[in-house]
Amino acid sequence: MKKLAWGVLAVIMAVVLAGCGAGNNTNGTAATGVKVIEIPMTQEEYAFGVDKNQPELLEAVNEFIAQIQADGTLDEILNNYFGDGEPQAVESAELDNSKDQLVVATNAAFEPFEYTKGDKYYGVDMEIAAKLAEYLGKELVISNMDFDAVVLAVGQGKADIGMAGLTVKEDRKQYVNFTNKYYDAAQTLIVKASDTRFDDAKTAEDVEAILAGLGSDTKIGFQTGTTAQFYVEGDEEWGFSGFDVQGVGYRSGSLAVQDMLNGNIDLVIIDEAPAKFIVEAINELN
C-alpha cells in the first residue's frame, strides 16, 4: 500500500491484538476485511473556521486559498495523498504567547486530512497549515483535540483557526467565520467485505432505501460530531431525516470500523477520503 496512514495502523493493531477472532460475519465465520460502498450520499464543502474576532485573518486566509489554488500548490498537496506524491511531515512549535504564532485547532485522527506519525503531523490540512503559517510570517502551533471541540475552541479564542476537514454548516457559523471552500467532500458507507446488501445499489437513493429498511436493532457507527452523525440521527438544517437505527459515536472512524469487525456494530458512515484510507489500511492486515 502506497500511502498507508500510520495513525490508523496503530489503532488497528491494538484492537486486533486485543480482540482477535471477535468479529464474525452473518455465516459465523471470522470477518476478514471491509469495503467501501462507493456511492456518495451527501454533497459537502470543506473550509477552514476562523476566529470571529480576527476578520483580517479571514481575509488573509481567503487570499492564501486563492493563491494556492491558482499556482498549483493545492493540487501538489492533494497529490501527496491521492496521487503519486509523498506526504510531508509538519512540526508544531510549543505555544508561547510572547511569539507571533498561528494556533491551529485540529483532530489528528482523520486521514488523509490530518493524522500523526510519531511526533509529526501529516495530512492535507496540516500541509496547508504549514504553508499558511509561512505565508502569514507566523510560527505554527497545532492543537490536537477531539473533533467536536475544534469549532468551540476557535469560538472561545483558544485557537486562531480550525483546520480539521470541517464541513461548512450553519450552526458552526455561530462560533467561526468560514473561509472560502478548498475541497468538495461526501459521506460514504463502510461494510464488512461479506456484506452483500448494497451490492446492487447504484445511487444514493438506493443506499438510503436500504438504510431506511433496517430495524431499530441495527447499529451504525460514525465519528462523533461529524456530518455522518447528523446523517444517521437526522438534522433539519441539512435536510437529513435520519434512520430508525441506533447511532454509535466514536473518536475516530478507524475505531468505528474496528468495532464493526469485532461484531459490536453493523455499519460505518464516514467521509469518503478517510473511508478509503481506513479500508486500505485494514485490508492490508488481513
pLDDT above 50: residue 13: no
Task: Report the pLDDT value the prediction gives residue 263, as an integer from 0 to 100.
Answer: 95
pLDDT above 50: residue 20: no
Of 137-141, 227-231, 235-239, 251-255, minimum mean pLDDT range: 235-239
- pLDDT level of residue 8 (50, 70, 90 thresholds): very low
- pLDDT level of residue 193 (50, 70, 90 thresholds): very high
Q: Tell me the mean pLDDT in the region 84-110.
A: 96
| Beta strand 44-46 pairing with 120-122 | unpaired
Task: Report the pLDDT value the prediction gives residue 238, as an integer from 0 to 100.
Answer: 84
- The amino acid occupying position 162 is G
Class of domain 6-43+186-284: alpha beta
The answer to whether 103 touches 141, Cβ cutoff 8 Å, is yes
pLDDT above 70: residue 19: no
Quick check: helix, strand or coil at residue 197? coil
Domain ranges for the chain, please list them.
6-43+186-284, 44-184
| 46: its cell numbers | 470543506
The rounded mean pLDDT for the chain is: 90
pLDDT above 70: residue 4: no
Give the whole-angstrom CA distance, residue 69 versus residue 143. Answer: 26
pLDDT above 70: residue 7: no
Give the whole-angstrom CA distance, residue 209 versus residue 193. Answer: 20
Fold of 44-184: D-Maltodextrin-Binding Protein; domain 2 (3.40.190)
Task: Report the pLDDT value the prediction gives residue 237, as an integer from 0 to 100.
Answer: 84
Give the whole-angstrom CA distance, residue 85 versus residue 120. Answer: 18
- On the question of a common fold for 6-43+186-284 and 44-184, the answer reads yes
- The amino acid occupying position 216 is S
Task: Report the pLDDT value the prediction gives residue 286, as an integer from 0 to 100.
Answer: 64
Q: Tell me the mean pLDDT in the region 145-156.
A: 97
Q: Tell me the mean pLDDT in the region 226-231.
A: 95
Percent of residues, the chain, with pLDDT higher than 70? 89
Of 17-31, 43-57, 113-127, minimum mean pLDDT range: 17-31
Q: Residue 165 class from Cβ within 10 Å (0-12 exposed, 13-18 middle, 19+ buried)?
A: buried
Query: For 75, how many CA atoms within 13 A lie in the half-sphere containing its CB?
Result: 5
Q: Tell me the mean pLDDT in the region 270-277.
A: 92
Chain segment 100-125, per-residue pLDDT in tens:
999 999 999 999 999 999 999 999 99
Percent of residues, the chain, with pLDDT higher than 90? 84
pLDDT above 70: residue 15: no
Which residue in 181, 73, 79 sits closest to 134, CA to CA? 73
